[in-house]
Structure 1
Amino acid sequence: MLGSGESQKEVIRPDFNRAIMIDFQGAKITSDVGFLLMREIDDRFKIIAPMGDCLEDLRSPAHTKHSLVQMIRQRIYQIGAGYEDCNDADFLRIDPALRLALGKDHQAGAGQSMLSRLENDILGNEAGLQALEAALTRSTDTLLKRKNKKRLIIDLDSTEDPAHGKQEWVAYNGHFAKNCFHPLFCFTSEGDCLRAKLRPGNVHSADGTLPFITPLVERYRSWFKLFWVRADAAFANPETYEYCEEQRITYFIRLPSNANLMRLLGPHLNRPVGRPPQSGIQVKIVDLHYQAKSWDRPRRVVAKIEWHRGELFPRIGFVVNNSRLPAGKVIKVYNGRAEIENRIKEGKNTLRWDKTSCQRFEANQARLQMGVLAYNLLHMIRQFYVWGEEVKRSIDWLIKRLIKVGARVSYHARRWYVHIASAFPLAHHYRAVLAWGI
């Protein structure tokens, strides 16, 4: 940061070594050349560009420097590079890689005030949220079509989004013991985020689940021969079971324990004889048929009993399902549901999905949607262009290794040149995204 009275042309000499000369007249340097990767993925699959046809721009064309699509791209790309705050735009707007990604070769991008108006006035309303939802659908369509799978597994989960102000619909949630929003997420088993919805803080985890997943079922049910749903005990209710059975969806949902279930399981609760395995955990899987008072019919429930070395009582879990899989396979399939928690952690910890500090609820929903779009852009790179063990890497790894890469940018003979270090160890991933196509 320059002190008062200093200019870009002045030389700074640190006191510890006066032979060192520092100035700010170097070549155009970017520390986030990965902006170009995100633009390439976005452009190749036409994710953000169609939003320009869905939104009405009431600004005077004669006084407009930044198009709506350019500003939406700038906001989403910034989130994808780890700059979740609108204030970051004030210094990023002159970043040479971001300017190239936005198609503003010789002009700066939008500042904080423009992006804040974008969130609140243009995207924070019904038309804006529908446009963002459509863009998210385009991104998930691309992810699902390219994989060409016969089975789709979707996972449902909610999380807390702590609030530290008086935003609309912030409320105290007794389960999380804090003032918060309570968003609902739907992911595939491979980490693609299909949908996200911001909700008031005091709603139940399963509130609005069927309206939330119905558009997904209607869109993707015919794409896949098998359609599976997994969820934890918060989503265990007869309405969900009946809906899945009507739609020919196989479900695996954790069932809370109760006295009747424990009574059915009673004959199986004796600790197995013999020496326990090296892990110290003895496991028994039991198949049950059970009907709660609120159910219209008996349903299959698979119980898993675990005896841990040094523990007096076993650990017991129940999974209600309508699958024909063997009981052990049912438990294995359900256990895969835990991966959605890792994906939500990536979104919250790396891309700051919980940065919902706008006053209006709709503007915060727009922020969440843009965060999810940024996640899916990065996830496309991870799924399509990263291979081997690296495909299991986190979004945080992806940002640090592929997005936050330094480069020198120069302009000559009507062409822009982006010079990345010759020793860059992950150059093959850049070639995969920018040169190979898909």
Structure 2
Amino acid sequence: MARFKLKESKKELTSYAGLALIGQCLEVVNVEALVDGGIPVSQGIKTSELVKTTVGLLSIGKSDFEAVEPFREDRFFKQALAVRKVPGSVWLRQRLDRVSGSLLEPLDDCSVRLIERTEAPITPHKGYVCLDMDTFVMDQSGTKKEEVSRTYQGVDGYTPVAAYLGNEGWCIGLELRPGRWHSSLEIDYFLERLFPRVERLVAPSLPVLLRKDSAFDSAKLLFAVADEKIRWAAMARGFEYLIKWNPRKQDKTAWVEQAEAAGAFVEKRPGKREALMTLNVDRAWKKQTRPFRLVIRIIERTTNKHGQMLLLPDVELEGWWTSLDEPEETVIERYRDHGTHEQFHSEFKTDLDLERLPSGKFETNDCLLRMGMLAYNCLRLIGQLGLTGNLAPIRHPAKRRRLRTVLQEIMYRAAQVIRKARQWWLDLGHASPVAKVFAYLQKRLVVQPGFASG
């Protein structure tokens, strides 16, 4: 096998050319205006530079504080992210510990600004812009970090709550929560912060469909989303909800008898029958009672798929609270697509390497997670604009690209860094397949007309 000879030169190279596009995303957001005004410093590194540095690291899949050390003297890293000085790992950790509480709200606004100012595509699914909300588990086993406790998956960690908008999966809400918290605990406060962002981002002509799983089945939350529907209706806008029913201690035999009495069962195959029903159920909260539509599906199996007889019938009971005025089959089909959000959770934990949060302080980890939300949206935007159109490298058709694909195709692109005539250049190589993509993204990642540059 032929061996390559090694050579060192004075040429400046980078293996993260995509950071130049992340810097443009941060320029669109105008992090300085959002952060430095509320958290000023008399000297040294600005708070906005801490944010830019951390988001830059997260956007190339590096979540540890120590990962910043190789970039402290990297001229391209500084130029791409528009930072004067890159902090060391110790300084970065200590500064974030001090300012993390003040950064939470500005970081949330950063993600909304990015989507809003670039006029990022927010596409509906079968007529509705879907807003998917759920909690997920971040395993922190073997650590002594603040608020790490037993989660519903039986591991020690955190259970953050996240909200994703549209077919693209824009993350417009991500907050860290102690592992022991139930999914619905204090979730009404999260909704109060979430709904104005949805109202701000979604076009008035498009209706919104909120989808949640059975962990959020409570009278309090049903009343909250019903009130939100009324508020949107007053603005001549559409808002609907679809929430999985939690049957808890329901008597399945009684439900089968009720379906039989209504004549709702339909035989799907020998040994399997299915019933769909719609009920109006009164729910009570704080001395108020309201009717809610409940779609019920009952599946009874007396034989398995191989034709083997079962000793006892296997009964599957499911239900959905909804404001949709659609047939039961359509309601169930709309909820089935809700499972797509599980992929977005995994992208945070694997592609951005945020499964194990680096700090021992809860508030700092919450701040880092929201910076991860901004990095996620930056990468999602680059993927949607650059890797789904005609200029993209040849791949299978898709309505969105996974963050890992964006990292491999764009972020981890090698280039030669050239500075001449007081200008910075990136030499992507001869006949580079992504050179046109880079050029297009540089033109597209700017504040769109109609938005102030401040």
Classify the TM-score, shorter chain: 0.7 to 0.9
SS of the residue aligned with 1:259? Answer: coil
Could you say which residue in structure 2 is the equivalent of 1:300?
293
Contact 2:130–2:208 (Cα < 8 Å) also in 1: yes
> Which of 329-338 and 19-28 deviates more?
19-28
> Which of 336-345 and 252-261 deviates more?
252-261
Post-superposition offset of 1:254: 0.8
Post-superposition offset of 1:283: 7.8
- The correspondence for 2:104, drawn from 122, 126, 129, is 129
Q: Determine the C-alpha separation between the residues in 2 that align with 1:48 and 1:412.
A: 28
2:86 is aligned with what amino acid?
G
> Which of 294-303 and 366-375 deviates more?
294-303
- The correspondence for 2:404, drawn from 378, 391, 396, is 396
1:141 is aligned with what amino acid?
E
1:58 is aligned with what amino acid?
V
Provide closer, same or farther for how the CA distance between residues 297 and 266 of structure 1 changes in structure 2, counting only shifts above 3 A. Answer: farther
Q: Determine the C-alpha separation between the residues in 2 that align with 1:84 and 1:115.
A: 12
Contact 1:171–1:181 (Cα < 8 Å) also in 2: yes
Deviations 1:15-38 (A, max 9, x none): x99x96535434111000000011
SS of the residue aligned with 2:144? Answer: coil
Q: Determine the C-alpha separation between the residues in 2 that align with 1:274 and 1:46.
A: 53
- The correspondence for 1:199, drawn from 155, 159, 177, is 177
Provide closer, same or farther for how the CA distance between residues 261 and 238 of structure 1 changes in structure 2, counting only shifts above 3 A. Answer: farther
Post-superposition offset of 1:352: 2.4
Q: Determine the C-alpha separation between the residues in 2 that align with 1:262 and 1:293.
A: 23
Contact 1:382–1:391 (Cα < 8 Å) also in 2: no
1:302 is aligned with what amino acid?
V
- The correspondence for 2:243, drawn from 245, 253, 260, is 253
SS of the residue aligned with 1:392? Answer: coil
SS of the residue aligned with 1:180? Answer: strand
Q: Determine the C-alpha separation between the residues in 1 that align with 2:20 and 2:340.
A: 29
Q: Determine the C-alpha separation between the residues in 1 that align with 2:243 and 2:188.
A: 14
Deviations 1:80-136 (A, max 9, x none): 1111111111112334431221335xx7633212322332122x22x2222222223
Could you say which residue in structure 1 is the equivalent of 2:216?
235
Could you say which residue in structure 2 is the equivalent of 1:56?
39
Provide closer, same or farther for how the CA distance between residues 146 and 273 of structure 1 changes in structure 2, counting only shifts above 3 A. Answer: closer
SS of the residue aligned with 1:291? Answer: strand
Provide closer, same or farther for how the CA distance between residues 400 and 262 of structure 1 changes in structure 2, counting only shifts above 3 A. Answer: farther
Q: Which residues of structure 2 form unaligned runs of 5+? A: 230-238, 390-396, 449-454
Q: Determine the C-alpha separation between the residues in 2 that align with 1:140 and 1:426.
A: 23
Could you say which residue in structure 1 is the equivalent of 2:78?
99
> Which of 216-225 and 184-193 deviates more?
216-225
Contact 1:231–1:254 (Cα < 8 Å) also in 2: yes
Q: Which residues of structure 1 form unaligned runs of 5+? A: 1-15
Q: Determine the C-alpha separation between the residues in 2 that align with 1:46 and 1:209.
A: 27
Could you say which residue in structure 2 is the equivalent of 1:5?
none
Contact 2:256–2:298 (Cα < 8 Å) also in 1: no
Q: Determine the C-alpha separation between the residues in 1 that align with 2:76 and 2:398.
A: 25
Normalising by the residue count of structure 1, what TM-score does the alignment of the two structures yield? 0.83
Tell me if 1:224 matches 2:207: no
2:339 is aligned with what amino acid?
A
- Taking only aligned residues, the RMSD between alpha carbons, in angstroms, comes to 3.0
1:291 is aligned with what amino acid?
V
Contact 2:384–2:401 (Cα < 8 Å) also in 1: no
Q: What does 1:132-147 correspond to in 2, within 5 Å?
A: 132-142=107-117, 147=122
Post-superposition offset of 1:301: 1.8
Post-superposition offset of 1:169: 1.4
Could you say which residue in structure 1 is the equivalent of 2:235?
none
Provide closer, same or farther for how the CA distance between residues 115 and 158 of structure 1 changes in structure 2, counting only shifts above 3 A. Answer: same
Q: Determine the C-alpha separation between the residues in 1 that align with 2:204 and 2:349.
A: 30
2:158 is aligned with what amino acid?
F
Provide closer, same or farther for how the CA distance between residues 274 and 203 of structure 1 changes in structure 2, counting only shifts above 3 A. Answer: closer
Deviations 1:337-369 (A, max 9, x none): 111111111111111233323122111111111
Contact 1:189–1:340 (Cα < 8 Å) also in 2: no
Deviations 1:217-266 (A, max 9, x none): 24444753523211111000111111111221421111123435662344
Provide closer, same or farther for how the CA distance between residues 275 and 421 of structure 1 changes in structure 2, counting only shifts above 3 A. Answer: same
Q: How many residues get paired? A: 408
Q: What does 1:25-424 correspond to in 2, within 5 Å?
A: 25-43=9-27, 45-60=28-43, 64=44, 66-103=45-82, 109-122=86-99, 124-125=100-101, 127-142=102-117, 147=122, 151-163=128-140, 164-173=142-151, 175-190=152-167, 191-221=169-199, 224=204, 226-248=207-229, 249-257=239-247, 258-260=249-251, 263-266=254-257, 268=259, 272-273=266-267, 284=274, 286-291=276-281, 296-305=289-298, 309-310=305-306, 312=310, 313=314, 315-388=316-389, 389-424=397-432
Q: Determine the C-alpha separation between the residues in 2 that align with 1:169 and 1:228.
A: 33
Q: Determine the C-alpha separation between the residues in 1 that align with 2:243 and 2:267.
A: 31
Quick one: percent identity of the two aligned structures?
19
Q: Determine the C-alpha separation between the residues in 2 that align with 1:251 and 1:141.
A: 24
Q: Determine the C-alpha separation between the residues in 2 that align with 1:254 and 1:343.
A: 20
Provide closer, same or farther for how the CA distance between residues 256 and 405 of structure 1 changes in structure 2, counting only shifts above 3 A. Answer: same
Provide closer, same or farther for how the CA distance between residues 347 and 74 of structure 1 changes in structure 2, counting only shifts above 3 A. Answer: same
Post-superposition offset of 1:282: 7.1
2:281 is aligned with what amino acid?
Q
Provide closer, same or farther for how the CA distance between residues 398 and 294 of structure 1 changes in structure 2, counting only shifts above 3 A. Answer: same
- The correspondence for 1:431, drawn from 430, 439, 451, is 439
SS of the residue aligned with 2:376? Answer: helix
1:423 is aligned with what amino acid?
A
> Which of 94-103 and 319-328 deviates more?
94-103
Normalising by the residue count of structure 2, what TM-score does the alignment of the two structures yield? 0.80
Deviations 1:130-163 (A, max 9, x none): 2222223323434777548785421111011222
